[in-house]
Amino acid sequence: MIQSDNRIIPSPARLLGYAGVLPFAAFALAHFFGGGEVSEHALRAFLVYSALILSFLGGIRWGVATRFDRLPASALINSVLPSLWAFACLLWPDPDLAVWGLLFGFVVLGLADWLLPAAGSATWMTDLRARLSFAVVTCHAVLITSLIAS
């Protein structure tokens, strides 16, 4: 069935988007409720997954920007910044600060996707990204709370 409202998030995008939040939640909860080695592995997995997803989101902007023959260089620059930031966070020697850095990356990119969506992106993407950003930021906050408590 064809949707008349192009702001309606397609079911596959909604389902896959929320499924992508599950590892964030699982690793944050494993760190919170686990102990010792479980918490360590959960923290490392959370950091790697977080960096991968932040890079993926930058890649979405790259893909949208390259659909056009003429595009400002800033569109491409802004699309690679999330990957560079995520990589820098992974290299940060203190994992607690790396989590904060990745949180910052998701907040900034989430605001950018909401306030300045990439030209040519689907109209429903803004709503989906806002919801997913909120969920991912919440998972980062749970992990940070666990790090503070431990």
Cβ partners under 8 Å of residue 87, min gap 6 = 51, 55
Q: Residue 2 — pLDDT band, cuts 50, 70, 90?
A: very low
Judged against a pLDDT cut of 50, whether residue 8 lies above it is answered with yes
State pLDDT tens for residues 31-45.
Answer: 999 989 999 999 999
Global pTM reads 0.91
Q: Quick check: 71 pLDDT over 80?
A: no
**In the predicted structure, residue 145 carries a pLDDT above the cut 70:** yes
Decide: 120 and 67 in contact? Cβ < 8 Å.
yes
Residue 116: the pLDDT is: 85
**pLDDT band, very low/low/confident/very high, at 108 (cuts 50, 70, 90):** very high
Report how far residue 54's alpha carbon sits from residue 114's, in angstroms, rounded to the nearest whole number: 15
Q: Residue 79 in contact with residue 61, Cβ under 8 Å?
A: yes
- State the Cα–Cα distance between residues 7 and 124, nearest whole angstrom: 4
